[in-house]
Amino acid sequence: MRKIISRGSSKEAALFFDEVFPNDVLVFALAHVSKGDVSGDGCVPMNAGAPDKDVIASLLPKDKKAQRRAYRVGLLESAALIIGLSKSNPPSSPEEFDTLNEPIAEAMRREFNFDFSYSAISADVDGWLTHLSNLQDAIFRQAGFGKAPEWVSESFLVESDSSDNRSDEALFAMSLSNLALVDSQKLTWDQIIEFRKDNKSRSALRDLRLFFQDDLSGKSPAYISDKLGQLVDRQEKASKLWGFETTQKTLSVAFTNRSILATSAGGIAAAVAGAPLSVAAAAALAIPLGGCVLEFSKAWIEAKKSQIERPTKFLTQLKKLGMSANLGD
């Protein structure tokens, strides 16, 4: 796994993967609402209304159209969030919506020739959401990320789904706790860009993240423990070599029982827990392993459409950053 679509903070994914397609909707939306340069929370900085050129070139080194594509994906995601907000909290008038969202509407007209007025959107909200999602997926495919998994947060890696509008689904999860992982929020983008040139150190950090994907069926608990210990040791040495600060974190993956990850997770569960994955998850087993603690559980990850329709977290983040007045709060 070398390609990742990062939703939210991209700094974490940038430490590990060869190519990272950022979908930093929060910073993108703030840049348009505030009409200024915005950075923070591990997202790709926005300069002069566009994703930072040097950062994008580091994250997507093979794509000459990367900056434009990242911009368009962020624009579509921002538009979808605005539509979701209007659905859950309708404006007092169409004029209020159009005035508040003029920066995004102007960009949508320029990039996609869309009429992003309230009268156009309110006529078919669900149709708009589906269309915007399809356009995003098309851009991902053009960039070679059509089948790339999504990095949903700093701790959860969720496999991609071929369905454009998959419903909320109960998932299995495996977690490694008691890990000293690099604190990406303490790093500058200049540090990350320089670090990404060191393939050996980056692979040392990445390989620990990919532990859950290894086919360990039939391996002994001692073998798995030793392998994990070696991966932890490699990433700790790479972190020290670069002088990166670390913090205690939990590394997790979430997946359905139909995914490829379920096969490797089943092998790990059988080897170290002596039970099928479903049994280990239902019992929430926690097993010391390689200096860490391996935990099995059930997880719940919201689908993209649900995130759009219940954008409470998005609003909270905007308010914390002092943008509530611009949003009509």
**3-class SS letters over 164-196:** CCCCCEEEEEEEEEEEEEECHHHCCHHHHHHHC
* Model pLDDT for residues 222-277, shown as the tens digit of each residue: 999 999 999 999 999 999 999 999 988 888 777 777 777 788 889 999 999 999 98
Give residue 301's Cα distance to chain centre: 12
Give the residue ranges of DSSP H helices in the chain: 11-14, 25-34, 53-59, 66-88, 94-100, 102-112, 118-122, 125-142, 189-195, 199-209, 221-241, 260-272, 277-282, 304-309, 312-320
Backbone CA torsion sign across 18, 233, 219, 274: negative
Which position has the token pair 């002994």?
A: 220
pLDDT at 155 over 50: no
Mean pLDDT of 148-154: 68
Q: pLDDT band at residue 36, thresholds of 50, 70 and 90?
A: low
Half-sphere exposure of 10 (CA within 13 A, CB side): 32
- The Cα 88–Cα 98 span in angstroms is 17
Lowest mean pLDDT among 2-11, 38-47, 200-209: 38-47
Nearest CA-CA partner of 283 in 131, 140, 172, 195: 172
pLDDT at 306 over 90: no
Residue 55 has a pLDDT of 93
- Stated length of the chain: 329
Higher pLDDT residue, 227 or 325?
227
Residue % of the chain over a pLDDT of 90: 38
Residue 295 has a pLDDT of 92
Mean pLDDT of 125-134: 92
Residue % of the chain over a pLDDT of 70: 79
Mean pLDDT of the chain: 80
- The Cα 275–Cα 174 span in angstroms is 14
Residue 311 has a pLDDT of 40
Residue 217 has a pLDDT of 82
* Model pLDDT for residues 40-87, shown as the tens digit of each residue: 667 888 887 778 899 999 999 989 899 999 989 888 988 888 898 888
- Which amino acid, one-letter code, is at 63? D
pLDDT at 179 over 70: yes
Residue 31 has a pLDDT of 59
Higher pLDDT residue, 214 or 323?
214
Residue 32 has a pLDDT of 56
